[in-house]
Amino acid sequence: MFETVVLALDGSPESLAAAPYARELAGEHGAIRAVHVREILLGRGGGQPANVNEEEVVAGVRSTVAELKAAGADISLEVATAASGGPAQAIAEIARRSSADVIVVGTRGRGQVAGLLLGSVTQRLLHLAHCPVFAVPPGAVSAQAQAPATGAASGV
């Protein structure tokens, strides 16, 4: 297991689906550092949130973090701000500062052309991060999510 896991959350269902993987990778003794990056659009009037429902997104991210904490995870949340197109840089910097062993991120599964045109935080992280990037594809189900709550997975 890893000592420090950075979990990148943007509020999308795909990013939230990566949370069980971060929990698995951290194991019993590792810590999870959840990161949400608020993107802002810079203009004459200053910075405006790129996402019109940013407060709802942050509330959803905080809820996910609270659920993981209630389930026993050693988790903290950092909300950072970056100019539009800069979340990967901010996540990579937080991972570096935290001495992270791995970054966990959900992917949206866009095709190659859409990924090229729209860019991809995951793709940028692969080039910027000092540690491995664990990319969770859409529809993936972690072993933790598959295990019954009765303890059957542990042979009890």
Strands 31-43 and 46-49: antiparallel
pLDDT in tens, 76-120: 999 999 887 789 999 999 999 999 999 999 987 555 554 444 458
Domain regions of the chain by residue span: 4-140
Output Rg (C-alpha) for the chain, integer angstroms: 16
- The three-state secondary structure class of 28 is coil
pLDDT(153) > 60: no
Q: What is the CATH number of domain 4-140?
A: 3.40.50.620
Which tens digits make up the pLDDT trace of 42-84?
Answer: 766 666 666 678 899 999 999 999 999 999 999 999 999 988 7
Q: Which long-range contacts (CB under 8 A, 24 or more apart) does 48-56 make?
A: 50/84, 56/11
Whole-number pLDDT of residue 85 = 72
Euclidean distance between CA atoms 90 and 100, whole angstroms: 14
- What stretches of 6-105 show up as alpha helix (H) in DSSP? 13-16, 19-26, 54-70, 87-97
Query: In angstroms, rounded to a whole number, what is the distance separating the alpha carbons of residues 101 and 108?
Result: 23
What's the pLDDT score for residue 118? 42
For residue 133, the model assigns a pLDDT of: 96
Q: In which band, very low, low, confident or very high, does the pLDDT at 3 lie, cut at 50, 70 and 90? A: very high
Give the pLDDT score at 5.
98
